[in-house]
């Protein structure tokens, strides 16, 4: 498995609180992605990064922000968590983008009460 860790692995929080999820990689890959997985929807892209401080929105970015200050770390922040953001969040990395394999982290299960 590629060197990708996510923290925390599980989190329960309350509506309206900010939450930050961390993705850390040891592969020095340029591209990093945040997906959410919900039953019946597969995985949907939230935000992605194509380099340090270079980020852009994905398909379901409302209510989320990201930051990447170092190659190895990609942070996902839920500015004010809502129950609709209860999901499993996966981070992924890719060396060169487009036709390249993506390697996924173990996921973070987030519950918003």
Partner 1 sequence: GQQVMQIPQYQHVQEGEDFTTYCNSSTTLSNIQWYKQRPGGHPVFLIQLVKSGEVKKQKRLTFQFGEAKKNSSLHITATQTTDVGTYFCASGTSYGKLTFGQGTILTVHP
Binding site for partner 1 (CB under 8 A): 31, 33, 35, 40-45, 48, 50, 56, 58-59, 90, 92, 94, 96-107
Q: In whole angstroms, how close is the CB of 18 to partner 1 at the nearest point?
A: 25
Q: How many residues does the chain have?
A: 113
Beta bridge partners of 63: none
Q: In whole angstroms, how close is the CB of 14 to partner 1 at the nearest point?
A: 26
Q: In whole angstroms, how close is the CB of 59 to partner 1 at the nearest point?
A: 7
Instruction: Indicate the pairing of strand 87-94 with strand 108-112.
Output: antiparallel
Judged by beta carbon, residue 17 or residue 100, the one nearer partner 1 is 100
**What gap in Å lies between CA 102 and CA 93, rounded to an integer?**
5
**What gap in Å lies between CA 12 and CA 57, rounded to an integer?**
25
Judged by beta carbon, residue 62 or residue 98, the one nearer partner 1 is 98
Judged by beta carbon, residue 35 or residue 74, the one nearer partner 1 is 35
Judged by beta carbon, residue 45 or residue 75, the one nearer partner 1 is 45
**What gap in Å lies between CA 49 and CA 43, rounded to an integer?**
17
């Amino acid at each position: 498995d590629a060197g990708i860790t996510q923290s925390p692995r599980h989190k329960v929080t309350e509506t309206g609180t900010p939450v930050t999820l961390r993705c850390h990689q040891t592969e020095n890959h340029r591209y990093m992605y945040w997906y959410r997985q919900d039953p019946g929807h597969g995985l949907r892209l939230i935000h992605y990064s194509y380099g340090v401080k270079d980020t852009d929105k994905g398909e379901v970015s409302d209510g989320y922000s990201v930051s990447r200050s170092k190659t190895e770390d990609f942070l996902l922040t839920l500015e004010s968590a809502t129950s609709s953001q209860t999901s499993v969040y996966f981070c992924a990395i890719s060396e060169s983008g487009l036709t390249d394999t993506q390697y996924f982290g173990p996921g973070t299960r987030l519950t918003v009460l």
